[in-house]
Copies of this chain bind each other. A is one copy, B any other.
Amino acid sequence: MKRLITLFAAILVTAASFAQAQVERWGCFETSYKASVKSNPFDVKLTATFTNGSEKMVVRGFYDGDDTFVIRFMPGKEGTWTYVTSSNVGALNRKKGSFECTAPSEGNHGPVEIDGLHFKYADGTRYYPVGTTSYDWMHVPGDYPAKTIASLKESGFNKVRSLFFLHNLNIDYPEIYPFLKNADGSWDYEHFDPRYFRYVEDRIMALQGIGVELDLILFHPYDGGRWGFDRMPLEANMRYLSYITARYAAFRNIWWSMANEFGGLRQVPYDYWVDMTKQVVDGDPYGHPVSIHGYTAIYYDYTNPLFTHTSIQDHRPVMEPGYAYTIRNIYKKPVIFDEVCYEGNNGARWGILSGEEMLYRMYNGILSGCYVTHAECFNSGPSDDFTNYLAFGGDFHGECWKRINFLRHSVLDDLPNPLALSDSSWDPITSTAGTGYYLVYLGKQILNNWTFNLPAKNNFFQPIKEGDKFQVEIIDTWNMTVTPVRGTFEAVHSGDRYRFNDKNNRSIQLPDRPYLLLRIKAVTE
């Protein structure tokens, strides 16, 4: 098989010696300089200070091969930016320039930032991560990368978790690697191969084009001795992290995942992940989201302030409504469950969920004010089958992915605020998105009817009070329908001091189906 290295090359012109005159806000300004150095050019020190009024930012440049040194910068403010370089190489030092930062184009909301227990884009637009996982799609030859971009776009996912280093799948990869080789065939960890970084960049930009964040997995244990990138010397790890952040931090849709199943990288001591994370955080002046991912039920110390959010592998907290909320109560930062088992048919217990179960777990986490990442692994034959989206990307073969657009646009985009449980630890199925806005998730319950009933507590929003009137919609999360219930409901105290009922004790007839969500909004008359 042959890969289409140039697939997305039109999107980002790299390594050309030029500087743009105009860049939109949160776009990627790039300038480059030619210089021939005798020492290892990857060791050249190069920074640039960008200034726009009171805003000032220092970014690192990087060597891109062919005597070319590149500086990238993501401007966070419109107007004129000027810059000046600093380097230990004369030809790269005191270079000056400027560019105009224009308004962001449509769909460009800037990088994702942390907002308490949630996320938002830099322009203030709410960002609810609804992600999937495809480890190796960036590296698989053929049309898999393009197909993956297309399938992500169609499905409506806004985040994908993918490996930077190659996955040891049973396929031929092109002979381009992150590092050059020494004469003896071993890796030369002091010399990167910019072509590898560049084609990953193409994919980052392709994702950016469809509004998808890339949760880039910086290390993983699925190398199996084929290349040894999971067992590099610790200094090589550090050097790589320094280089990749200098190259990629200016892309607004990048996230850093220090590792997948970090425990599998047996040569990296537990505490050393903190040092490596610090290397990433220090190397990224934009503060992109950063986390680390363990084996099932192995929780790294996510309370460490270096980690902006959790990236948990554990399905237990999302097996039923409400339990995930405890994890959020503990961490006090955004909680993402990045692996809760996969929809699929691969026979392993982690890869045999039905589409319904996958979606159920996602809703369980989301309605508890957390976030849950999807994945599917369907094999039509051998285990490295190309129908396995988890490994190869390409086209989805499951059922859950079809419900993602609905989840995002019909449920999440309607929220006035991010979700929380109304009455933590007491009511696991009632979530709030603000004053007079509730979601009651019936999950696997199949009920003939539901009697109007809401908790008196409403997280930190205004609680319900007697006389409040509500309208109810029945959302079928699987069949993707929203059915308004006729008439209104009026809250009165129930016999239970912690709950409110309808004045006439009115109940709602429900379809005989599971996975229903009731959306209950105050009526403002």
Beta-carbon nearest neighbor of A424 in chain B: B297
Query: Please, which residues of chain B bring their CB within 8 A of the CB of A332?
Result: 299
* Residue contact A323 to B329, C-beta cutoff 8 Å: no
Interface: A316 (CB within 8 A): yes
Tell me the residues in window 472-525 of chain A with beta carbons closer than 8 Å to chain B beta carbons: 498
* Residue contact A330 to B329, C-beta cutoff 8 Å: no
* Residue contact A299 to B349, C-beta cutoff 8 Å: no
A293-308 interface mask toward B, CB cutoff 8 Å, 1 = contact, 0 = none?
0001111010100000
Most buried by B among A298, A323, A428: A323
* Residue contact B349 to A316, C-beta cutoff 8 Å: no
Known: A303-B301, A326-B327, A330-B327. Is A424-B317 also a contact (CB below 8 A)? no
Bound: A402/B325 CA distance, A: 33
* Residue contact A323 to B317, C-beta cutoff 8 Å: yes
* Residue contact B299 to A329, C-beta cutoff 8 Å: yes
Most buried by B among A317, A329, A425: A425
Interface: A436 (CB within 8 A): no
Distance of A437 from chain B, by nearest CB (Å): 21
* Residue contact A330 to B299, C-beta cutoff 8 Å: yes
* Residue contact A349 to B428, C-beta cutoff 8 Å: no
* Residue contact A298 to B329, C-beta cutoff 8 Å: yes
* Residue contact A349 to B498, C-beta cutoff 8 Å: yes
A329-358 interface mask toward B, CB cutoff 8 Å, 1 = contact, 0 = none?
110100000000000000001000000000
Interface: A18 (CB within 8 A): no
Interface: A315 (CB within 8 A): yes
Query: Please, which residues of chain B bring their CB within 8 A of the CB of A320?
Result: 320
Bound: A235/B301 CA distance, A: 33
Chain A: interface residue total (CB-CB under 8 A): 25
Interface: A272 (CB within 8 A): no
Bound: A425/B316 CA distance, A: 5
Interface: A110 (CB within 8 A): no
* Residue contact A297 to B326, C-beta cutoff 8 Å: yes
Bound: A323/B364 CA distance, A: 14
* Residue contact B316 to A428, C-beta cutoff 8 Å: yes
Query: Please, which residues of chain B bring their CB within 8 A of the CB of A325?
Result: 297, 316
Interface: A41 (CB within 8 A): no
Bound: A208/B322 CA distance, A: 41
Bound: A80/B52 CA distance, A: 74
Interface: A314 (CB within 8 A): yes
Bound: A315/B298 CA distance, A: 23
Bound: A297/B332 CA distance, A: 12
Query: Please, which residues of chain B bring their CB within 8 A of the CB of A461?
Result: none
Interface: A426 (CB within 8 A): yes
Beta-carbon nearest neighbor of A301 in chain B: B303
Contact of A303 among B303, B315, B316 (CB under 8 A): B303
Most buried by B among A317, A322, A326: A326
Query: Please, which residues of chain B bring their CB within 8 A of the CB of A349?
Result: 426, 498
Contact of A425 among B315, B428, B498 (CB under 8 A): B315
Query: Please, which residues of chain B bring their CB within 8 A of the CB of A298?
Result: 329
Distance of A282 from chain B, by nearest CB (Å): 23
Bound: A298/B424 CA distance, A: 10
Tell me the residues in window 416-467 of chain A with beta carbons closer than 8 Å to chain B beta carbons: 424-426, 428
Query: Please, which residues of chain B bring their CB within 8 A of the CB of A330?
Result: 299, 327, 330
Distance of A293 from chain B, by nearest CB (Å): 14
Distance of A498 from chain B, by nearest CB (Å): 6
Bound: A315/B314 CA distance, A: 20
Contact of A323 among B299, B316, B426 (CB under 8 A): B316
Contact of A296 among B297, B323, B327, B425 (CB under 8 A): B425
Distance of A102 from chain B, by nearest CB (Å): 43
Beta-carbon nearest neighbor of A316 in chain B: B425
* Residue contact A314 to B498, C-beta cutoff 8 Å: no
Query: Please, which residues of chain B bring their CB within 8 A of the CB of A317?
Result: 323, 326
Bound: A325/B330 CA distance, A: 14
Distance of A322 from chain B, by nearest CB (Å): 7
Instruction: List 20 A–B pairs whose Cβ atoms lie within 8 Å, in order of A's numbering.
Output: A296-B424, A296-B425, A296-B426, A297-B326, A298-B329, A299-B329, A299-B330, A299-B332, A301-B303, A314-B326, A314-B329, A314-B425, A315-B425, A316-B322, A316-B325, A316-B326, A316-B424, A323-B323, A327-B330, A330-B330
Extra inter-chain contacts (17) besides given A297-B329, A317-B326, A320-B320, CB under 8 Å? A297-B325, A297-B424, A297-B425, A298-B329, A299-B329, A299-B330, A299-B332, A303-B303, A314-B326, A314-B329, A315-B425, A316-B322, A316-B325, A317-B323, A323-B323, A326-B327, A349-B498
**Top 4 closest A-B pairs, CB basis?**
A316-B425, A297-B425, A297-B424, A303-B303
